[in-house]
């Protein structure tokens, strides 16, 4: 990493400091491989020479808008530049043709208004300040001129701002390729308005983000030969199913559960719902409300968004019946049955929740009890029904809840897609990939493992394009260059993708 320079007494350097990442100071003494540094806050620290990075004392006061303009391209230099710009509300910075966005955690309205859109339309890349609109503009213009589809990859840790960035990309693409609304709503309006519906069912509060997407999303915006939007499709990946049954403090389950519990009284009566703390799937965390968010208002907003994307009132009722049924299913408890390894409903409360769930799902309560308390095995010869003990019945109950929730989500995505409409004759498309972010906890679920693996795979794609292919090109053309060191994660991918590793994991 970075440029090799001689560090001597008097050099201004960056040194790693666990509490604040990096501190800067002046080298006052060198002892063999170690240097003593006088840090700006008056402290003196000792650090290995090999771990020090030179500080650019002539750096521009407001930072640089492209990292490639930095004198020293190392981690502290890059972070310092981002921090300097962030202080000035400059949240976007280029690294060549890649855009880095720092989450401002506040609405910077002036950055996204229609005047800004006009400015970026057709402006050569790099001529104006770094901006997410510039990235969308390049993708659009390249698509028009080269007649080829393009994709924009939005990546970053959870809470970094991927979904917000994706929305802005889509808004700008809608501005470039939008048509004047003649009859009803345009494709682009429908794509943008499908967001609140997807977020109500696929987003939740996590430790890091009050509105964290718990699914991956690839939005395809299709264009006709005149560069006008002609259709769109939303493809979703790997919804975090486990959240339906398992949450920990201070997280929340999917928003839709809380929205429904805050619905007008007549709806609560219809779905036989009470406060979220009544429900097993919600009361494993003490967090029920989000600061600054009214679930009652969000419920009405989601209903309106459903109207807009073409989900009928009857379908909306069916959707919320499933949501309510899941909450009731979670409250069904089991006790030991008379026969060995069998189970029955624990008490009248459980009976009430089972009957309500059956009524909401429009199925026979006896069949629902059987589905939860028995396992059906189909062999070539016969169909065997086996009773389940209370523990296994509880697992079966949770599996059932997760399955109907994820099918409801898939159904919603299909519904949104069919009402937006796809253009089978589309010439080109721009895809925006908003994959959910890398996270690492003390204990990580299999789902988290899959998410992190996907992020590693995307990182490799990035490495391939930015470093490997570029450097191969230099070698081929015999251009004099110095090799750029980068952390190649191919070993990690090889390990995960090897069949032997999977055999080892599954045999344990
Ligand atoms: N450009 C922005 N302007 C204003 N606020 C922003 C911006 N980007 C992000 N935020 C704020 O940060 C929060 C988290 O952003 P976002 O949901 O986009 O993160 P994410 O990277 O998609 O996270 P996850 O992977 O958990 O879904 C948003 O709810 C919003 O409050």
Instruction: State what percent of residues in the chain have pLDDT above 90.
Output: 68
Cα–Cα distance between 43 and 358 in angstroms, integer?
A: 68
Question: What pLDDT digit, counting tens, does each position of 477-499 carry?
Answer: 887 776 667 778 889 899 888 87
Question: What pLDDT digit, counting tens, does each position of 355-369 carry?
Answer: 999 999 999 999 999
Active site residue 87: no
Q: Which two tokens stand for residue 192?
A: 């943008």
- Are the beta carbons of 224 and 427 closer than 8 angstroms? yes
Strands 212-213 and 203-204: antiparallel
Mean pLDDT across the chain: 91
- Are the beta carbons of 132 and 149 closer than 8 angstroms? no
pLDDT of 506 higher than 90:
no
Q: Closest Cα to atom 8, ligand 1: which residue?
A: 161
Question: What pLDDT digit, counting tens, does each position of 99-122 carry?
Answer: 999 999 999 999 999 999 999 999
pLDDT of 230 higher than 80:
yes
Q: Which CATH number fits domain 91-309+417-444: 3.40.850.10, 2.120.10.10, 3.30.450.20, 3.40.50.620?
A: 3.40.850.10
Which of the listed residues 89, 104, 130, 163 should we mutate to test ligand 1's pocket, taking the one with most ligand atoms within 8 A of CB?
Answer: 163
pLDDT at position 292: 94
- Are the beta carbons of 282 and 250 closer than 8 angstroms? no
Q: For ligand 1, what atom is nearest to the CA of residue 213?
A: 27
Active site residue 212: yes
Domain with CATH 3.40.850.10 in the chain: 91-309+417-444
Domain with CATH 1.20.120.720 in the chain: 326-408
Cα–Cα distance between 507 and 22 in angstroms, integer?
A: 44
CATH 1.20.120.720 assigned to 326-408: yes
Cα–Cα distance between 449 and 41 in angstroms, integer?
A: 41
Phi/psi class of residue 362: alpha, beta or left (left: φ > 0; alpha: ψ in -120 to 50)?
A: left
CATH class of 1-88: mainly beta
Among the listed residues 11, 186, 212, 426, the single catalytic one is: 212
Domain with CATH 2.30.30.140 in the chain: 1-88
Mean pLDDT value across residues 300-316:
93
pLDDT at position 1: 47
pLDDT at position 355: 98
Cα–Cα distance between 117 and 464 in angstroms, integer?
A: 32
pLDDT of 247 higher than 90:
yes
Q: At what angle do helices 295-308 and 313-330 cross, to 10 degrees?
A: 140
Q: For ligand 1, what atom is nearest to the CA of residue 156?
A: 21
- Alpha helix (H) residue ranges in 272-363: 295-308, 313-330, 348-361
Instruction: State what percent of residues in the chain have pLDDT above 70.
Output: 96
Active site residue 312: no
By CB atoms closer than 10 A (0-12, 13-18, 19+), residue 129 is: middle
pLDDT at position 191: 83
What letter does residue 254 receive in the DSSP assignment? B
Name residue, tokens 């720092």: 102
Q: At what angle do helices 187-202 and 295-308 cross, to 10 degrees?
A: 140
| 154 Cα to the center of ligand 1, angstroms | 12
pLDDT of 38 higher than 80:
yes
Q: For ligand 1, which residues put their CB under 6 angstroms from it? A: 103-105, 107-108, 156, 158-164, 209, 211-213, 436-437
- Are the beta carbons of 301 and 196 closer than 8 angstroms? yes
pLDDT at position 146: 93
Q: Is the dihedral of CA 227, 229, 233, 239 positive or negative?
A: positive
Cα–Cα distance between 74 and 498 in angstroms, integer?
A: 34
pLDDT of 2 higher than 50:
no
| 138 Cα to the center of ligand 1, angstroms | 23
Active site residue 163: yes
Whether 71 has a binding-site annotation, put simply, is no
Cα–Cα distance between 112 and 101 in angstroms, integer?
A: 14
Within its chain, how far is the Cα of 344 from the centroid?
Answer: 40
3-state helix/strand/coil string of 276-296: HHHCCCCCCCCCCCCCCCCHH
Lowest mean pLDDT among 189-193, 243-247, 466-470: 466-470
Among the listed residues 163, 194, 203, 236, the single catalytic one is: 163
Question: What pLDDT digit, counting tens, does each position of 162-212 carry?
Answer: 999 999 999 999 999 886 554 566 777 788 888 999 999 999 999 889 999
Cα–Cα distance between 249 and 286 in angstroms, integer?
A: 6
- Are the beta carbons of 75 and 5 closer than 8 angstroms? no
pLDDT of 423 higher than 90:
no
Whether 315 has a binding-site annotation, put simply, is no
């Amino acid at each position: 990493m970075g440029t090799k320079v001689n560090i001597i007494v008097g050099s201004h350097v960056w040194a790693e400091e666990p509490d604040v990442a990096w501190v800067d100071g002046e080298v006052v003494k060198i002892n063999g491989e170690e240097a003593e540094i006088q840090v700006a806050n008056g402290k003196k620290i000792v650090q290995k020479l090999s771990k020090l990075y030179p500080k650019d004392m002539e750096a521009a006061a407001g930072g640089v808008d492209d990292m490639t303009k930095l004198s020293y391209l190392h981690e502290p230099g890059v972070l310092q530049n981002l921090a300097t710009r962030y202080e000035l509300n400059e949240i976007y910075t280029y690294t060549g043709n890649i855009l880095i966005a720092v989450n401002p955690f506040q609405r910077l309205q002036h950055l996204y208004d229609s005047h800004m859109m006009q400015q970026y339309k057709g402006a050569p890349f790099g001529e104006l300040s770094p901006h997410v609109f510039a990235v969308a503009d390049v993708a659009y213009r390249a698509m028009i001129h080269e007649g080829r589809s393009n994709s924009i990859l939005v990546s970053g840790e959870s809470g970094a701002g991927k979904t917000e960035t994706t929305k802005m990309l889509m808004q700008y693409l809608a501005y470039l390729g939008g048509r004047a609304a003649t009859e009803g709503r345009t494709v682009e309006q429908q794509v943008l308005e499908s967001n609140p519906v997807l977020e109500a069912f696929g987003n939740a509060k996590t430790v890091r983000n009050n509105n964290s997407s718990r699914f991956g999303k690839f939005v395809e915006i299709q264009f006709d030969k005149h560069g006008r939007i002609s259709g769109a499709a939303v493809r979703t990946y790997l919804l975090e199913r486990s959240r339906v049954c398992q949450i920990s403090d201070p997280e929340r389950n999917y928003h839709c559960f809380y929205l429904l519990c805050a619905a007008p009284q007549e709806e609560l009566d219809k779905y036989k719902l009470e406060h979220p703390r009544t429900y097993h799937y919600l009361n494993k965390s003490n967090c029920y409300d989000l600061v600054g968010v009214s679930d009652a208002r969000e419920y009405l907003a989601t209903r309106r968004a459903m109207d807009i994307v073409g989900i009928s009132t009857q379908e909306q009722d069916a959707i919320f019946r499933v949501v309510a049924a899941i909450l009731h299913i979670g409250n069904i408890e089991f006790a030991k049955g008379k026969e060995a390894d069998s189970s029955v409903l624990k008490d009248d409360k459980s009976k009430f929740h089972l009957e309500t769930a059956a009524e909401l799902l429009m199925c026979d309560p006896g069949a629902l009890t059987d589905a939860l308390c028995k396992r059906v095995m189909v062999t070539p010869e016969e169909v065997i029904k086996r009773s389940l003990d209370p523990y296994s019945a509880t697992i079966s109950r949770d599996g059932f809840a997760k399955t109907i929730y994820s099918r409801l989500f898939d159904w919603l995505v299909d519904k949104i897609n069919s009402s937006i409409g796809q253009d089978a004759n589309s010439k080109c498309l721009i895809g925006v990939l908003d994959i959910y972010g890398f996270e690492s906890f003390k204990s990580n679920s299999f789902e988290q493992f899959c998410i992190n693996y996907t992020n590693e795979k995307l990182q490799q794609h990035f490495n391939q394009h930015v470093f490997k292919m570029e450097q191969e090109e230099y070698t081929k053309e015999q251009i004099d260059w110095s090799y750029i060191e980068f952390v190649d994660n191919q070993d990690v991918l090889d390990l995960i993708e090897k069949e032997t590793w999977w055999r080892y994991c599954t045999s344990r």
